[in-house]
Structure 1
Amino acid sequence: MNKFSQLGLSQVIVDNLEKLGFENPTPVQEKAIPLLLNQNPTDFIGLAQTGTGKTAAFGLPLIDLIEDNNSTQALVMAPTRELGQQIAVQLESFSKGIKSVNIEVVYGGAAITNQMKALKSPTQIIVATPGRLKDLINRRAVKLEKVQYVVLDEADEMLNMGFKEDIDEILSYTNEDRVTWLFSATMPNEVRKIVSKYMNNPLEVAVNTVQQSNKDITHQFVITKNNNKLAAIKRFLDLQPEMRAVMFCRTKWQTQEIADELGQLGYGVEALHGDLSQSQRDAVMKRFKTRSMQMLVATDVAARGIDVNDLTHVFNHTLPDQLESYTHRSGRTGRAGKKGVSMVFINPREGNKIKELEKKLNVSFERVEVPTLDELKSKRIHNWANIIVNTNVDQQSGDILNEVAHLFGNLSKEDLLKRLITTQLDHLTSGGGEEDNLNEAYGGSPDKRDRGKFNRYFINVGSIDGLTKADLVHYMADISGIERRYFGDITMQKNRSYVDIDSGKDRGISLKFEGIEIDGRAIRVNKDDQGPSGGFGGGSDKGGFKKKKRKDRPRPDKRRDGGRRSGRGRR
């Protein structure tokens, strides 16, 4: 038996819920729906976390309470357009077949003229973001005099986003005898002020509070330096390639920068923030929901309304300014009975923030270690091998193989596989100057080397030479004898690159590249502040590193003619 039928809902709604596959109400629905139906009219407060079924908790009784007339009777306000769209879609599915209920959703980022045209039809329920609704009121496209029900969904987040004045103005256009239903994950002082100002003896339901709703979420934290956070995150992504995650950052700039850097390294990552157009945001979310990417990097504001039920992880690159917002972040995972992980990356001086979170939100955090490079190797190679085995062979591969087969000489299958595996392992140990151990103790680790002391070097090799950043570091390390872990940031351009090298390890590196050629082009490596020194013309698309003989080579300070020396090549 469908338990929704026991809550007092009309038969047409119960039938719709059965068709949608809803049989058992969530705790907030089970408690809120009978109260809102039987105690009508009443002000109401629902305290529940994201993902607990709040939309149905207010949406089902709201639809049943709508009268058969053409006036706008209900207003639902949400903090973001994504959440507003999701609410409208759910309300429409709940009310299918009920001719007296028409629902329109309005939000910024879309043509206001189209929304004004839609609102000319009788609209009983309007779902809106505060900013756009205020614009429509000012254009006289919306009339709220007959609104009987106002729903403030995720009220705490709307106030965090600065909509307090907009809400005050909007509510001033409604009748004083309307009722207000407020839903929120937390009850900070600003929300209490709303309750005090606009609500009269509200009924309250508090279910799935922080400690209850997070029972399926494991809260973890990692201690690492700020400039090692991205390297640490990469290792978790490498360790669990099946992971689906959202990572939260504080600023739009940081969000885009991290997404760009991870994308350039080959990770399936995209950014979601307020500077994207609506069509761009929709496209990003579509790709994320269809599993075309592994991780979404988002700001708190942009992530409001994200409705993805199978997220395995939530990463907090930085903690939110208001610790209550951590509840919204972590609530993105651990939904629908599935387990999830919410991981916080802190620097050694932020341990007190974890303790504050534990105390304020009544959750327990587990400290975890960043995987070392050695721990990642077997996992990385295993995943890579599976990809190779399951790759469909391209029709052109045979012709290309015939062209390059002579380069492999008499290498056995085992020798060839060892070299392929080595190139994969290089990606774990190059391209970022990463230390093997990225973990820190509270207060920091004074024994670790100062990674801020780097010298920047120019090399006249770039992407046109068919190299990746990892290839370049591998080659430079091979020629110079400097271990790959002492290489830092790399900027690769078409025919040149810039490489940071530990200042304690770079002595004489320029001299070690004297006599090196790529297909007859002399290679030059020198400090960037010295400027490039000749021979920096376009690269070669053939690759083929060659090292000239060093025998009888004149000293650099005695060489005046700039001529090239000949000798046997070295790969």
Structure 2
Amino acid sequence: MQNFQETGLRNELLDAITEMGFETPSPIQSKTIPHILSSDQDLVALAQTGTGKTAAFGLPVLHRIDPKTKNTQLLVLSPTRELCIQIATEMEKFLKYMGDIKVVSVYGGAPIDSQIRAIKRGAQVIVGTPGRTIDLINRRVLNLSNINWLVLDEADEMLNMGFKEDLNTILATTPEDRQTLLFSATMPKEIQNIAENYMTDPMTIKMAKRNVASDNVQHFYYLVHGSDRYEAVKRIVDINPDIYGIIFSRTRAEAKDIADKLQADGYNADALHGELSQGQRDQVMNKFRSKQLTLLVATDVAARGLDVNELTHVINYNLPDDSEVYVHRSGRTGRAGNQGISIAIVSNRDVNRIKEVERFIGKTFEKQRVPAGEEVCQARLYNLISKVENVDVNEAQIAPFMDDIYAKFEDMSREELIKHFVSVEFNQILAYYKDARDLNIKERKQRKDRDNGKFTRFYINLGEENEGFNKLKMIGMINDNLSQRKVEIGKIDILQKFSFFEVDANFESEVLTAFSNFSFGNSKVVVEKKKGKERGGGGFRGNRRSGGFKGDRKPYPRRGEGRKPRYRG
């Protein structure tokens, strides 16, 4: 398929997407549009974020919708309110010349009354998050008994965020003869189960995995102590006066903490996380898009649906555990032909992860030194001089004030005037960076046995909400339940409702056996091997503390837009 004109789509849709700049269908669009237009067969499409999935399912379904009836004919489910809004907005653009078809987005964090009124007025297309969709079904506002199409967008993310039961509930309320279109980046067991239980002989389309980073992005890493991450970020920001970027954190609590510190230190920064109301989120996003904010601190989930093409930098406050997440993060800069920079702040513990990410993205990270205080001051000074040199002077506006200004400075020499000018701008930053310490650390040589070692990652159904459960308790439980107390333990991550821990892979079966009939307080303990690649290196022996980050590796939304994540494996 060379162009959209060959698809057979309605002229009204073709006119709309032509105005939007659509020319040649993407690979996923080339395969899905003809299928959905000509067949009622269910479809499983495996494709990464950013491949044009909304048009891939939206255009052909909108072509087939009956505009004469106001009943809901299409339901699109997405994992977050941000993606929900993005999908609905794009579909409304597709429908510019088909005014009889209405789209309503439903999601938590926004008044439900207005969503109810919009549905009652008639909406052929509903785009929603699972939580709010179920709420509307329970209120008998949303009737799915006659829908013709059900789209599950980013299905793996919905399962990862704990929507398995919600999806089962929604799917059970829809007619059996609907056409189900499932889009997912990966095909875990739970997705296969949905296909087997709720889909009929689905056709599968699998696109090539996009794990290669953009050629327009440079990848740097800075090696510091974990406690110096924030100071390192400040110096990176200070030495790049024109920075316009996102700082990615692992948890919403961390995002808020970083943003609060940046604001207190005088930076134009704010946080984007699941605790914000929709109004607060929109306010933050409007400021960021208009560049009133130059730094946005966000979790991966909160950043979904954020589409800004001019970002200069992406800063990973911590490297994500999933290299594919790094690709998504770094891909937010270097867009629309611009050059971008993706930065990782790492400690010695994370150096091996840099190598893993390099292999995954097919790019090399360049190690950079955190700039010294003198370097920061020099960069800021030269940037100011350049701005002064190149500023547009409006003679007419400043003319009435110039005589008084000349009189004020007539006793100053040229050299004195420049010194005063520089001091006004730089006294504060010069004082801050006076005698600033070196944040860079030497790369520690990894012990050979640790480099070659492998860890198995386990899920355990205990978390912060279980009184008395913490990292030290987890270490004690491992040591007490295994016959050998010198088993090497890797990272331990305590989350709210569940946790993860790593143990030498040679003892995998022993761990599973040891915890098969174990209780903690009144809770029956469940330990399961987490699916995915085993990770090498960086553990500790015996009862030494884990250096792992205490927090949720994948930040989670509030109840209004979804549930806290359950075990994925």
State whether TM-score is above 0.5. yes
Quote the residue 2:142 is aligned against.
142
Q: How many Å separate the matches in 2 of 1:42 and 1:201?
A: 7
Q: Secondary structure at the match of 2:286?
A: helix
Quote the residue 2:342 is aligned against.
342
Q: Secondary structure at the match of 1:171?
A: helix
Residue type of the alignment partner of 2:203: L
Are 1:65 and 2:64 an aligned pair?
Answer: yes
Q: CA deviation at 1:169?
A: 1.3
Residue type of the alignment partner of 1:282: D
Contact 1:373–1:428 under 8 Å retained in 2? no
Q: CA deviation at 1:424?
A: 4.7
Q: What does 1:119-130 correspond to in 2, within 5 Å?
A: 119-130=119-130
Are 1:270 and 2:270 an aligned pair?
Answer: yes
Q: What does 1:24-35 correspond to in 2, within 5 Å?
A: 24-35=24-35
CA 1:36–1:395: 2 relative to 1, 3 Å: same
Deviations 1:196-240 (A, max 9, x none): 443444334444633346344333322112232222222332333
Percent identical across equivalent pairs? Answer: 42
RMSD: 3.3
CA 1:169–1:337: 2 relative to 1, 3 Å: farther
Quote the residue 1:329 is aligned against.
329
Q: CA deviation at 1:36?
A: 2.6
CA 1:432–1:262: 2 relative to 1, 3 Å: farther
Q: What does 1:413-432 correspond to in 2, within 5 Å?
A: 413-422=414-423, 424-428=425-429, 430-431=431-432
Q: How many Å separate the matches in 1 of 2:92 and 2:213?
A: 27
Runs of 5+ in structure 2 lacking a partner? 447-569
Contact 2:311–2:340 under 8 Å retained in 1? yes
Q: How many Å separate the matches in 1 of 2:135 and 2:316?
A: 34
Quote the residue 1:132 is aligned against.
132
Q: Secondary structure at the match of 1:182?
A: strand
Q: More displaced, 425-434 or 293-302?
A: 425-434
Residue type of the alignment partner of 2:64: L
Q: How many Å separate the matches in 1 of 2:181 and 2:278?
A: 29
State the number of aligned residues: 441
Contact 1:33–1:61 under 8 Å retained in 2? yes
Q: CA deviation at 1:243?
A: 2.8
Q: How many Å separate the matches in 1 of 2:213 and 2:145?
A: 38
Q: What does 1:401-440 correspond to in 2, within 5 Å?
A: 411-422=412-423, 424-428=425-429, 430-431=431-432, 435=436, 437-440=438-441
Q: CA deviation at 1:115?
A: 1.0
Q: What does 1:187-336 correspond to in 2, within 5 Å?
A: 187-207=187-207, 209-212=209-212, 214-336=214-336
Contact 2:244–2:294 under 8 Å retained in 1? yes
Q: What does 1:95-106 correspond to in 2, within 5 Å?
A: 95-106=95-106
Larger-gyration structure (1/2): 1
Contact 1:249–1:255 under 8 Å retained in 2? yes
Q: So what's the TM-score if we normalise by structure 2?
A: 0.69
Q: CA deviation at 1:364?
A: 4.2
Q: How many Å separate the matches in 2 of 1:337 and 1:37?
A: 34
Q: How many Å separate the matches in 2 of 1:394 and 1:163?
A: 61
Quote the residue 1:152 is aligned against.
152
Quote the residue 1:110 is aligned against.
110
Runs of 5+ in structure 1 lacking a partner? 446-571
Q: Secondary structure at the match of 1:210?
A: coil
Q: How many Å separate the matches in 1 of 2:405 and 2:99?
A: 66
Are 1:78 and 2:75 an aligned pair?
Answer: no
Q: CA deviation at 1:141?
A: 0.6
Quote the residue 2:535 is aligned against.
none
Q: What does 1:449-464 correspond to in 2, within 5 Å?
A: none
CA 1:411–1:264: 2 relative to 1, 3 Å: farther
- Higher RCO structure (Cα 8 Å, ≥6 apart): 2
Quote the residue 1:7 is aligned against.
7
Deviations 1:62-101 (A, max 9, x none): 2112234333221111122222112111111112232552
Q: What does 1:359-378 correspond to in 2, within 5 Å?
A: 359=359, 364-378=364-378
CA 1:212–1:300: 2 relative to 1, 3 Å: closer
Q: How many Å separate the matches in 1 of 2:312 and 2:18?
A: 29
Q: CA deviation at 1:31?
A: 3.0
Quote the residue 2:52 is aligned against.
53
Q: How many Å separate the matches in 1 of 2:399 and 2:271?
A: 35
Q: CA deviation at 1:361?
A: 5.6
Q: How many Å separate the matches in 2 of 1:192 and 1:40?
A: 20
Q: CA deviation at 1:166?
A: 1.5
Contact 1:222–1:368 under 8 Å retained in 2? yes
Are 1:384 and 2:384 an aligned pair?
Answer: yes
Q: CA deviation at 1:164?
A: 2.0
Residue type of the alignment partner of 1:60: L
Contact 1:101–1:124 under 8 Å retained in 2? yes
Are 1:441 and 2:442 an aligned pair?
Answer: yes
